[in-house]
Each structure stands twice: as structure tokens, then as C-alpha cells.
Chain A
């Protein structure tokens, strides 16, 4: 088996699965109310795009997820660096972050709706809180594991604290952040969709909740598929970024 062609085999297996699923639907083995056949799901998907009503929803979810992701990464890095360098800050911040890390953070969704309304802000906030805690710990523990020898090198060459952050800490945590970037992307979309699920007038999460209330399984599957594709596209972009930033490795 040539590993280079693994994706072909995976594709064939996937097509086969869809074919069996479709056939089972035709044979009346599956209740279309719960498990609509792939062709019905495909039709629902085409429907979403053909009349253009999907776009505002996609835009809402994307904006919320990417906004929360960007904010969460920036704030996570800044807090992580500060906490790692200033013990007094770590003393205050670490317990809070540990607590936030321990709870399922999506339970904050209703609170954000009360505070920030049912618009975009509450979704961004949920994405943000999911991502920033993850990135904080990535950076905080990453800096603590930095190679001491590199730190000593910079000091003996006359580098100050800022030089350490710029030339040693940030580059070495970049690798850690990138390895967690895919998880962060997943978190960001979780935050956006769950936020929309709780209370919203737009977004993929809102559509899902609508599909649930109308018992529209085909629409649900179509939406799940759509979110899957969106996340995969972002993963591919993240992979390219990783390759570029870690080219020294």
C-alpha cells in the first residue's frame, strides 16, 4: 500500500459509505425523518445556496468565530507572556485561568446573552473566552519550558528583557501556539455556533436551532456538513501558516 495514495482510498471508502447510505434509504431501511438520504441532504445544501439565504448566516458565524479567535489569540499571548515573566501576575491570573479551564466554558453563553444582547457581541465573547484560556496556558507553560541555555546566551550577548521576549520566548511559543491553532479554530466555531444556538437571529447555529424546532433532519445534516467544510478550509490555511513560520525546523 503506497501511503501517497491514502487520500484516494479514503475518498473511495467515503463514496462507498454514501452509496450504502443512499441504497439503505431507497430500500426503506432508514426513516427519512431521522436519517435522510445523502441525495436529500445534498438537495437541502443546494437549496441553501441557490436562494442565497445562507450568506448572511455564514457571514455572522464567520465574523463571530474569527473575531473571537483573533481576540482570544492576542489576549491569550499577552496575558501568557506577562504571567510567565511577572510572578505576581501569575499568582493572581493562574487560579482564575485554571478555574475557567476546568469548567465547560460554554455554560457562560446565557450570561453573555444577558450582558451583551443577542447580537454579534455575545458570540464573539463566547468564542473569545474559549480560545483565550487555551492560548494563555499554551504560552504560559511554553515560556516556562524555554531552553535556559538560549536565555543565558541572550543575556551574555547583552540582550535585555524585551530581547528575550522577542528573540527567545515568542519564537519558541510560536511552535506551541501553532500546534494548538487547530484546536483553537475548533473552539472558536464551537463558541460562535453555541452562542447562536442559545439566542440569535442569524448564523449557522441559529439555523441549526431552527432545523431542530422544525424537525428538518436534512437541513441539519446539510448545516453540519457545511460547518465541517468551513473548518477544514481554515485548517488548511493554518497548516500553510505553520509551515511558513516553522520553516527553520
Chain B
């Protein structure tokens, strides 16, 4: 599922609260999965610059007590699955933005999460690289039965990847205002999903609702 909403509605804060990086200012977070079963893919691809790709991927496994040799072998596996065979020993500095994003993804997926949180993870990538990574993410998430929550500004991305899109109202004190079910069947290719007949009407509907939220905020600002 995806979460969309105007800037400042607290989408990122919500994810940070779920993963435990931030205390919610009110209420409690009650995820059905344990903290260590949640993986988070961030907007940037900050890997440890002094560790190679495989060492970065193996990092979390090491924290879990997996032996170094076995952790590195699993890391190589994940890198290969994400199309980075041959790049295991590169330092992040010597990888492209898309490759770094894939390493970050491998790092999270190697932990076998039950829930994957993504905070605008593809925003900084150029169109083709982005479309390819999204395809890979969709496939892996579907195959590994990982629950995924994507926060994004990009409605196309939200619809093509999700079964449900939730709209968060204008903040502060934003709330979930709408839940749109995406009727495009699975398994689905997120690039082809955009040509499905249900895509365009849904896009327009969410777009209109989102615009109203933004307008409402501007009207409020003008009134104050």
C-alpha cells in the first residue's frame, strides 16, 4: 500500500514512528510485526562509505549474530539477485546512484523483513533507472510476501505499486482521509500497470482529492 499526501502532512514522521526513530507526539504505534522484522528504505542512499557493497549488505546480519563468512555469502547472493554481481567489492563512492540504491535495498531485504517501509526511496533517481528498480522491488516484495508501505509524492508510482493508496490530509494534525483500492490484478508489472484501463480514472480521482487538500491549506493560510 502507499501513503500520499501534501508536503508537511507528516508522511515521513509516520514511517519514522513505526520504525522507532521518532516518538509519536500523540497516540501509540502498534505494528503487528516486531521491530526487527521491519525494514526501512530511506530517501537517500547513505551507505557506510568505508565499507564495500557486500560489507554494507552484511552489516545488519552481523548485528543479528550471523557469522561473518555466512553474512558475506548471503550479501553476495542478494547483490546478485539485484543485478550487482561483480560489484561486491566496490566502495559506495565507486557505484552509481542507482547501484547504491540497489545496495541499500539488498541491505534491507537481506534482513528478511515482514514489512518494508519506503520513504520516497526512488525520488533521486532518473526515469529509466527508477522504473527498473521499481520493477525489481515489486517483484521481490510480491515473491517474498513482504508487506510494503510506500510514502511518495508520485501518484503514478503509488498506484502502479499498491493495492491500496491512502490519502493523508493537510498537516498539522493530518489524518487518513481516503482509502483507494487499486483494482489492477496481481501479479503485475508496475510499468505496464500504467496502461491498465483502471489506472487513469483512479489517477484523476486521487489527483483531484489531493489538490483539494492543498487548496484547503492555502485557503486556511489566507484566512489566518
Measured in the bound complex, the distance between the Cα atoms of B64 and A66 in whole Å is 40
B19's nearest neighbour on chain A, judged by CB, is: A156
**Chain A binder among B41-49, B160-168, B181-189:** B41-49
Q: How many residues of B contact A (CB 8 A)?
A: 24
User: Restricting to B79-105, which residues have a CB under 8 Å from any CB of A?
Assistant: 91, 93
B111 within 8 A of A: yes
Q: Are B21 and A153 in contact (CB under 8 A)?
A: no
A155 close to B (CB within 8 Å): yes
Q: Most chain-A Cβ atoms within 10 A of its Cβ — which of B21, B39, B50?
A: B50
Question: Digit string of B46-79 for contact with A (CB within 8 Å is 1, else 0)?
Answer: 1111110000000110011000000000000000
A157 CB contacts on chain B under 8 angstroms? 59-60, 63, 107-108, 111
Question: Min CB distance, B97 to chain A, in Å?
Answer: 15
Q: How far in angstroms is the closest Cβ of chain A from B26?
A: 23
Chain B residues whose C-beta falls within 8 Å of the C-beta of A167 in the assembled complex: 48, 51, 59
Report the interface size for chain A: residues with CB under 8 A from the other chain.
Answer: 20
List the B residue with the shortest CB-CB distance to A158. B63
Does B178 interact with chain A (Cβ within 8 Å)? Answer: no
Main secondary structure of the interface of A (DSSP, over half): helix
Chain A residues 144 to 191 lying within 8 A of chain B, measured CB to CB, are 147, 149-150, 152-160, 163, 167-168, 171-172, 174
Shortest Cβ distance from A172 into B: residue: B50
Q: Which 6 pairs across A and B sit closest by C-beta, in order of nearness?
A: A157-B60, A149-B46, A248-B91, A158-B63, A248-B50, A171-B50
Residues of B participating in the A interface, judged by any CB pair closer than 8 Å: 19-21, 36, 38-40, 42, 44, 46-51, 59-60, 63-64, 91, 93, 107-108, 111
